[in-house]
């Protein structure tokens, strides 16, 4: 068998034209693992309400962060893929869950190179139904339909992997060297609380309080909230941060359901009102800088902070195509690629 890797990120619109943004948001928000209500209700909500107003607003936000080469998320993912490809012994394809290049085209690219054993690699450190799960489910559907001879292995969430923690901590340490910050906020993408309950394989563990995520449970394998707190705890431990010097919050809520709390915008505001003048912020749910980090945090977050008296707002970039991160990915991939192929009798 011949091995290859499919790196999968979220995706971006083709351009900042509201029509392209609308097409992208339609695919994204009509995913039953993102807006997880029955099809008729999702259609009514997304196509009847959200897509009438959101594309224009989102297009304006994308315009603020768009690069000459295209969407930052796309450009950074392509740079990552190219660098990892140079270091590894197997072909590396890149795909996006929404938009282009699609997962189907990525699998086709690998098949054309003779690959029949694929490592599907969702580029999300923490598991979520709206990210990792939707990628793996779609990839499997496409495999059955179009690539039945392929075999898949997938990379599990790496939120607590020592290599990831080290690279993330080093990237924070490097950016904050010489920066006299008073508080470091770990801001993760939010999800509706309902998503956490749905992913609870024990069906009884998640209480969304301070204790459940700290109490060992089989549920944590698929608990986004637990995994965000664990990434934070391990990075803080690595950096030797004192408990009152950092905290966790969740950003980008959409709609009226309760999402994971505390919310990032309110936390930034509260910290400023309580007298924090120098705030640093890191966004570990994203491996590539994107709309949610470059606009929502670096622009909107900064504005909120300054409105309530904050003075210095330092944003730690995502891992992007940092050499240390590229080397870790290449090593993980090579370790997988060097494993012997299981014989049919095993
Ligand atoms: C119900 C809505 C959404 C859920 C649940 C959700 C989860 C989720 N998303 C990311 C990562 C990214 N999301 C990005 C943009 C984005 N997210 C939503 C909605 C939900 N996300 C919307 C509507 C958008 C589009 C932009 C907008 O209109 O505000 C991005 C940025 C993409 C880019 O092109 O830059 C990322 C990345 C995670 C990690 C996650 C759950 C853990
Ligand atoms: Fe999102």
pLDDT 10s digits, 260-283: 999 999 999 999 999 999 999 999
CA of 1 to the centre of ligand 1 (A): 36
Indicate if 302 and 332 belong to the same structural domain. no
Indicate if 128 and 166 belong to the same structural domain. no
pLDDT at 341: 65
Indicate if 151 and 123 belong to the same structural domain. yes
The pTM for the full model equals: 0.95
Q: Is the pLDDT of residue 326 over 90?
A: yes
Q: What is the predicted ipTM? A: 0.91
Asked whether residue 42 is assigned to any structural domain, the reply reads: no
Indicate if 194 and 292 belong to the same structural domain. yes
Asked whether residue 52 is assigned to any structural domain, the reply reads: no
Q: Whose CA is nearest to atom 38 of ligand 1?
A: 189
Indicate if 194 and 293 belong to the same structural domain. yes
Q: Is the pLDDT of residue 210 over 80?
A: no
Indicate if 148 and 238 belong to the same structural domain. no
Torsion of CA 269, 273, 276, 279, to 10 degrees: 10
Residue 282 or 203, more confident = 282
Asked whether residue 72 is assigned to any structural domain, the reply reads: yes
Asked whether residue 55 is assigned to any structural domain, the reply reads: no
Q: Whose CA is nearest to atom 27 of ligand 1?
A: 58
pLDDT at 26: 98
Q: How far apart are CA 339 and CA 342, in angstroms?
A: 9
CA of 252 to the centre of ligand 2 (A): 7
Indicate if 9 and 151 belong to the same structural domain. yes
pLDDT at 190: 98
pLDDT at 315: 98
Share above pLDDT 90 across residues of the chain, in percent, rounded to a whole number? 90
Indicate if 254 and 132 belong to the same structural domain. no
Indicate if 142 and 189 belong to the same structural domain. no
Share above pLDDT 70 across residues of the chain, in percent, rounded to a whole number? 98
Residue 131 or 212, more confident = 131
Indicate if 143 and 179 belong to the same structural domain. no
Closest ligand to residue 10's CA: 1
pLDDT at 343: 55
pLDDT at 331: 98
The residue segments making up the domain with residue 181 are 162-315
Asked whether residue 51 is assigned to any structural domain, the reply reads: no
Q: Is the pLDDT of residue 102 over 60?
A: yes
Ligand 1 closest atom vs CA 191: 5
Asked whether residue 59 is assigned to any structural domain, the reply reads: no
Beta bridge partners of 120: 6, 154
pLDDT at 346: 43
Q: Is the CB of 119 under 6 A from ligand 1?
A: no
Indicate if 246 and 150 belong to the same structural domain. no
Asked whether residue 40 is assigned to any structural domain, the reply reads: no
**Considering its fold, how many domains does the chain have in total?**
2
Q: Is the pLDDT of residue 320 over 80?
A: yes
pLDDT at 342: 58
Q: How confident is the model at residue 203 (pLDDT cuts 50, 70, 90)?
A: confident
Residue 76 or 204, more confident = 76
- Annotated binding-site ranges for Fe(2+): 189, 292
Long-range contacts of residues 258-265, Cβ cutoff 8 Å, at least 24 apart: 258/192, 258/193, 259/190, 259/191, 259/192, 259/193, 260/188, 260/190, 260/191, 260/192, 260/193, 260/196, 260/208, 260/224, 260/225, 263/190, 264/185, 264/187, 264/190, 264/297, 264/301, 265/300, 265/301, 265/304
CA of 34 to the centre of ligand 2 (A): 9
Cβ(309)–Cβ(31) below 8 Å: no
Cβ neighbours of residue 115 under 8 Å, at least 6 residues apart? 2, 3, 4, 90, 91, 150
Q: Is the pLDDT of residue 74 over 90?
A: yes
Indicate if 127 and 273 belong to the same structural domain. no
pLDDT at 329: 98
Asked whether residue 35 is assigned to any structural domain, the reply reads: no
Q: Whose CA is nearest to atom 14 of ligand 1?
A: 292
Q: Is the CB of 260 under 6 A from ligand 1?
A: no
Q: Is the CB of 285 under 6 A from ligand 1?
A: yes
CATH of the domain at 229: 3.40.50.1400
Ligand 1 closest atom vs CA 9: 37
| Residue that the structure tokens 């990892």 belong to | 84
């Amino acid at each position: 068998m011949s091995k290859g890797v499919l790196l999968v990120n979220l995706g971006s619109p083709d351009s900042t034209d509201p029509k392209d943004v609308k097409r992208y948001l339609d695919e994204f928000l009509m995913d039953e693992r993102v807006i997880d209500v029955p099809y008729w209700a999702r259609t009514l909500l997304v196509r009847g309400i959200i897509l009438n107003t959101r594309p224009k607003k989102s297009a304006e936000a994308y315009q603020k962060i768009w690069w000459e080469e295209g969407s930052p998320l796309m450009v950074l993912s392509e740079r990552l893929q190219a660098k990892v490809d140079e270091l590894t012994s197997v072909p590396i394809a890149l795909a996006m869950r929404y938009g282009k290049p699609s997962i189907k085209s990525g699998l086709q690219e690998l098949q054309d190179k003779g690959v029949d054993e694929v490592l599907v690699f969702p580029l999300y450190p923490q598991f979520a139904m709206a990210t990792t799960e939707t990628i793996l489910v779609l990839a499997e559907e496409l495999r059955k339909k179009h690539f039945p001879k392929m075999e898949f292995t997938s990379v599990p969430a790496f939120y607590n992997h020592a290599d990831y923690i080290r690279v993330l901590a080093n990237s924070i340490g490097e950016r904050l060297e010489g920066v006299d910050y008073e508080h470091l906020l770990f801001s993760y993408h939010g999800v509706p609380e309902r998503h956490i309950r749905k992913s609870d394989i024990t069906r009884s563990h998640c209480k969304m309080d301070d204790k459940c995520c700290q109490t060992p449970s089989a549920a944590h394998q698929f608990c986004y909230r637990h995994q965000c707190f664990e990434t934070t705890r391990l990075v803080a431990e690595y950096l030797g941060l004192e408990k009152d010097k950092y905290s966790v919050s969740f950003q980008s809520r959409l709609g009226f359901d309760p999402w994971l709390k505390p919310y990032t915008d309110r936390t930034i505001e509260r910290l400023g009102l309580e007298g924090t003048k120098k705030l640093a912020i890191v966004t570990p749910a994203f491996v590539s800088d994107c709309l949610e980090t470059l606009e929502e945090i670096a622009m909107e977050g900064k504005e909120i902070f300054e409105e309530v008296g904050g003075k210095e707002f330092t944003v730690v970039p995502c891992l992007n195509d940092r050499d240390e991160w590229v080397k870790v990915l290449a090593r993980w991939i090579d370790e997988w690629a060097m494993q012997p192929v299981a014989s049919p009798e095993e």
